Amino acid sequence: MSRTLWIILGLPFLVFNNQIFAIEGNPALGKKKSETCLGCHGVTGYSNVYPSYKVPKIGGQNKDYLISALKAYKAGDRKHGTMQANSYRLSEEDMHDIAAYLSSVK
C-alpha cells in the first residue's frame, strides 16, 4: 500500500484516538498503585528501604518521562530486571495513573 494511502487511513484514527481515548491519569488511583514502587523509590536519599542500593528519584518527575520509562521497561527496550518485573503487569492506564500521582508529588 502506498504511503499516502496509509496517511489518509491513519489520520482520522489518530485524531479520533487522541480525542476520545486520551488517558487522563488519576492521581488518587495512582497513589494506591504506586505503593509497591515506593518501597524502593521515593525514599530519602533515593536508596531502597534497606538501604542497600541507589534508585532514581521518580517523585516529582515529568509525567511523560515516567510513562515512557515504564513502557520501555515493559517492552524490554530498557533493560533492568527489577523494573521490568515491576512494569510488566502495569496496563497503559496504570502507568498514566501512577505517572499522574508521582509527577504531582514534591
| 100 part of the interface to ligand HEC, by CB under 6 A | no
- Among residues 3 and 89, whose Cβ is nearest to ligand HEC? 89
For 12, counting Cβ atoms within 10 Å of its Cβ (0-12 exposed, 13-18 middle, 19+ buried), the class is exposed
- Binding to ligand HEC, residues 16-55 (CB under 6 A): 34, 36-37, 39-41, 48, 55
Q: Give the range of 4-12, 13-21, 82-90 binding ligand HEC by CB under 6 A.
A: 82-90
Distance of alpha carbon 71 from alpha carbon 9, whole angstroms = 26
- Among residues 9 and 49, whose Cβ is nearest to ligand HEC? 49
Distance of alpha carbon 97 from alpha carbon 34, whole angstroms = 9
